[in-house]
Chains A and B, each alone.
Chain A
Amino acid sequence: MKILVAVKRVIDYNVQIRVKEDGSGVVTDNVKMSTNPPDDNAIEEAVKLKEAGKASEVIVVSVGDEKAQETVRKALAVGADRGILVKAEGMIEPLAVSKILMKIVGKEKPDLVFMGKQAIDDDCNQTGQMLAALLKWPQATFASKIEVKDKSLEVTREVDEGLETIEVNTPAIITCDLRLNEPRYASLPNIMKAKKKPIEQINASDLSVDTKPRIEQIKVEEPPKRKAGIKVASVEELVQKLKNEAKVI
């Protein structure tokens, strides 16, 4: 069984986001970038399945600029076998990413595609579901537990009401929740080894996919600032303020 894992390079989750003064986006120059956090869970799950003898190969793919190669390399350092970087400049919308991934799926013929449930930059939560639709494959989104069966997977999904379990036939798309597993750190020897693993580079423009944005970003602005609050000295004062000042209890 072959697993393709899609990863995205995003601004690190700990970075305080700054909006550009001209309203054209957020500041990304000299800002720490990392793998989108739930994509780390996707890689971990694929590598675990390989270690358990259930997967034969783990291929990692990223769509982005030249630097996204670092993100692919990091996945190789924690156990993916080989990488693919689809080079594309600028903002690539989830619809275009899913069309690119569809081409990669056509070429690599994986049995499963894993990715994070949501990218923490655009917060779109679309790509996995879109890829599933284009491929006419089933989807198991927000997965917090995956059990591999003969020709299907049993997946526990985190939904608003609690947990839902569904069975999806393979091939399938799984989007991973942060609670699926605990991603490992790459060891130094494995980081060295990953440098020798192959990363194939493809230009998005060679895949005949239209990557032009359909959505115009008119402006990006800072959220309204919350008025600074006060510190209260005691529980009594807190309750009194909530009752008489804020009038919420």
Chain B
Amino acid sequence: MSVLLISEHNNKEVKPFTYNAISAASQINEDLHVLVLGSNSENVAKSISEVPNVKKVIHVDNSMYENYLAENYTSAITKISENYSHIICSANTFGKNLMPRVAALLDVSQVSDITKVISEDTFLRPIYAGNAFATVKSNDKIKCVTIRPTSFDPAPTTGGSAEIENGNPGDETSLSKFIKKEEIKSDRPELGTARVVISGGRGMQSGENFKLITAVADKLNAAIGASRAAVDAGYITNDHQVGQTGKVVVPDLYIAVGISGAIQHLAGMKESKVIVAINKDGEAPIFSVADYGLEADLFDALPKFLEELNKLNTIQK
């Protein structure tokens, strides 16, 4: 039986984590079909058909899919589910919202946020904010699985030419209505996929002071993150939050500035390859996960850090 992956897109472009989900799904079974539910979304179907891992694209183009609502997506998925052994999507806010709705209607106990495929029915997943890892085996006939995108490399985006089949729309419901999305546009790399992330915490003391972070981020072509405390305090918007209930990031370099390192924050960044902590409290728990710790006042250290970076002849982008 084949595996069905639900793609995430904005009707024009495929969202990057879809490619990570594709590579996880094809580890389960190479016979991978991808469902595209969209409106005027031909480009999305075409892009996905070019991923070599994809065997078939099922494209449903209907005005009801102009904006993503779990209520409208669900029935299109459950109607074709009996052809599949697995239904997969990424464990970001898109998939977290959608998959349990699908799973419940199929009477399936979902496996959330897997970081490793052990076999077609056995997976590894973090629990307790990543302070423990559970190996779990799903015994349901259809397996509903969400994958942690940062734990899987993205699939290649070119070289394939999968068949694109037109699928049937699900039932339209009027239970919910999309009103608006306030998307924060930025020229910076996306937080979830950036090579370098620099994050600020409560120690930043104000939103204004984040300009110190921004200056370093510009120099390193880094994405900007934040602790929950900084977001709660209104220093920066929620889409920057890294942690158990925010985003999980695995950059090559993570720089934590003025972040004490609560368990909930560590859950979102401790898999980063190299971690730097800048904090004036030498006892802060963040130092226990940092490869390089600098005990210093961030208001002195950040401008100096930028100055030193400026002295370098080359900086990796």
Contact = CB atoms under 8 A, between A and B. Distances in A.
Interface of A: 11, 13-14, 16-17, 19, 26, 38, 93-96, 98, 117-118, 120-134, 136-142, 144, 154, 157-169, 172, 177-179, 213-223, 226-232, 234-236, 238-239, 241-243, 246, 248-249
A124 B274 contact: no
Interface string B237-253: 11100001101000011
B103 to A, nearest CB: 7
B96 A164 contact: no
B175 A166 contact: no
Nearest to A247: B316
B109 A94 contact: yes
A38 B245 contact: yes
Contacts of B69: 166
Nearest to B308: A239
B71 A138 contact: yes
A228 to B, nearest CB: 8
Nearest to A163: B182
Contact of A236 (B100, B129, B239, B308): B308
A17 B104 contact: no
Contact of A230 (B93, B288, B291): B291
A232 B128 contact: no
Interface in B110-129: 110-113, 122, 126-129
A215 B184 contact: no
Given A26-B132, A242-B274, A249-B309, 20 more contacts: A118-B245, A122-B127, A125-B96, A126-B99, A129-B96, A129-B101, A134-B105, A137-B175, A140-B176, A164-B178, A167-B177, A169-B174, A214-B138, A218-B136, A221-B135, A226-B288, A230-B292, A235-B308, A243-B312, A248-B253
30 contacts: A16-B263, A19-B132, A26-B131, A26-B132, A94-B100, A95-B107, A96-B109, A120-B244, A120-B264, A121-B128, A125-B100, A125-B112, A126-B112, A136-B175, A144-B238, A158-B93, A167-B176, A167-B177, A179-B238, A215-B111, A215-B137, A215-B139, A218-B135, A223-B132, A229-B275, A229-B291, A235-B308, A238-B305, A239-B309, A248-B196
A188 B183 CA distance: 44
Of A13, A131, A220, A242, most buried by chain B (CB within 10 Å of CB) is A242
Interface string B278-301: 000010000111111111100001
Contacts of B210: none
Contact of A231 (B239, B264, B273, B294): B294
SS of A interface (majority)? mixed
Nearest to A122: B127
Contacts of A162: 181-184, 237-239
Nearest to B253: A248
Contacts of B1: none
B94 interface: yes
B66 to A, nearest CB: 13
Contact of A123 (B74, B129, B289): B129
B192 interface: yes
B172 interface: no
B101 A238 contact: no
B18 to A, nearest CB: 13
B92 A139 contact: no
A88 to B, nearest CB: 15
Given A166-B69, A169-B175, A217 B291 contact: no
Contacts of A219: 134-135
A139 B173 CA distance: 12
A177 to B, nearest CB: 7
B228 interface: yes
A221 B132 contact: yes
Given A121-B128, A166-B176, A160 B247 contact: yes
Contacts of B175: 136-138, 168-169, 172
B179 A94 contact: no
Given A124-B112, A139-B70, A242-B276, A133 B101 contact: yes
B303 to A, nearest CB: 9
Nearest to A246: B274
Nearest to B124: A221
A29 to B, nearest CB: 16
A239 B238 contact: no
B112 A129 contact: no
